[in-house]
Structure 1
Amino acid sequence: MTDKLTKPGLAKPDLPRPRLIPWPPLIYIAAIAISIALGLFYPLPWIGDLLGDLLFAAGFVVLFAVAALWFTAIRTMIRAKTTMNPNGVPDHLVTSGPFGVTRNPMYLANTLLLIGVAFVSGIVWFLPLALIAAFATQKVAIESEEKVLFAKFGKKYRDYTKRVRRWI
């Protein structure tokens, strides 16, 4: 069997098929919407005074880290000439840059975005929804993406998973 794909971005017949719906962005958008709605209709108490001010400042640091993580992950994938589509089959296994620290830097950035917004806005609901969104992303996206990566890259991917954790 040849290692070339018939069309760019399409899986070989023996590879698990990626999902059709781009779940990760939808999961995080839903988490944001639910957090805001719950914050409006069922607000939870927030830490005030000095600790609240520290968390507010920390939130901006987290949001800056999110932007840096997104930028470096996207730049690394573009340089590797591989797809950024969560449903696409990657052309290359990217293990450098932020992918040398976490196998899912963009999903980690999305989760940190919710945490940073919680600290800045004082809407506590963002915190549990960040964890729920991360768990849902792992179940509906990451685990199937990992099957595709293992099927395509085999031992190279298995060695990478031994060196680099899924999240952090």
Structure 2
Amino acid sequence: MSKLELKVPPVAVFIIVLALSVQSALLFPDASYLPLPLNGEVLVACSGLSTLLGVSALYQFRQARTSVNPVKIHKVSALVVKGIFNYTRNPMYLSLLVFLFGIAYWLESWASMLWCLGFILYMNRFQIIPEERLLTERYGEQYLKYQQRVKRWLL
């Protein structure tokens, strides 16, 4: 277990990656320029989808009366597998990624797109895999079956 596992709140990781994405596009506008159509429309669509994913996940957690704190996973009192969790095991993290992608697309920056990949890699290693390990310990076969049925992100 790494010292960074489950230590940095995903929202903090999101804010850091968002800042780095914007900074990359501003500091290296010519070097990272990627001409893309419909920037504003894609940003609005990603913002809407991000909100829908996040709110749906929060609603399911509230319905199950379980913790939404990703740093204190030991406080989880129910395995949520309904609603949006039928399509992705991590809709809250996916909502953050979709918004980051929308910003990167709007900025027309391949460097910003790379930060989206960095977000996925960091979240997988330091947040999602440790969560999966703890959920497997707590829910055993029930979680393993859920893991086989539903993808971590979407793919």
Of 120-129 and 87-96, deviating more is 120-129
TM-score if structure 2 supplies the norm length?
Answer: 0.87
Cα distance in 2 for residues equivalent to 1:107 and 1:56: 23
Q: What is the identity, as a one-letter code, of the residue corresponding to 2:48?
A: F
TM-score if structure 1 supplies the norm length?
Answer: 0.81
Deviations 1:120-155 (A, max 9, x none): 333443211011111101100100000110000001
Return structure 1 stretches of 4+ with deviation > 4 angstroms. Answer: none
Deviations 1:42-64 (A, max 9, x none): 112231xxx52x24312211111
Residue 125 (structure 1) aligned with residue 90 (structure 2): no
Of 137-146 and 123-132, deviating more is 123-132
Kindly name which structure, 1 or 2, has the bigger radius of gyration based on alpha carbons. 1
Cα distance in 1 for residues equivalent to 2:6 and 2:18: 22
Q: Tell me which of 38, 44, 58 is aligned to 1:74.
A: 58
- Percentage identity across paired residues of the two chains: 28
Distance apart, 1:20 and its partner CA = 5.8
1:56: which partner in 2? 40
**Contact 1:115/1:127, CA 8 A, preserved across alignment:** yes
**Contact 2:21/2:112, CA 8 A, preserved across alignment:** yes
Cα distance in 1 for residues equivalent to 2:68 and 2:116: 22
Q: 1:85–1:22: structure 2 CA closer, same or farther, 3 Å change rule?
A: farther
Matches within 5 A, 1:1-168: 21-43=7-29, 44-47=32-35, 51-52=36-37, 54-88=38-72, 89=74, 90-168=76-154
| Unaligned residue ranges in structure 1 (runs of 5+) | 1-18
- Which structure shows the bigger proportion of residues in helix conformation? 2
**Contact 1:103/1:164, CA 8 A, preserved across alignment:** yes
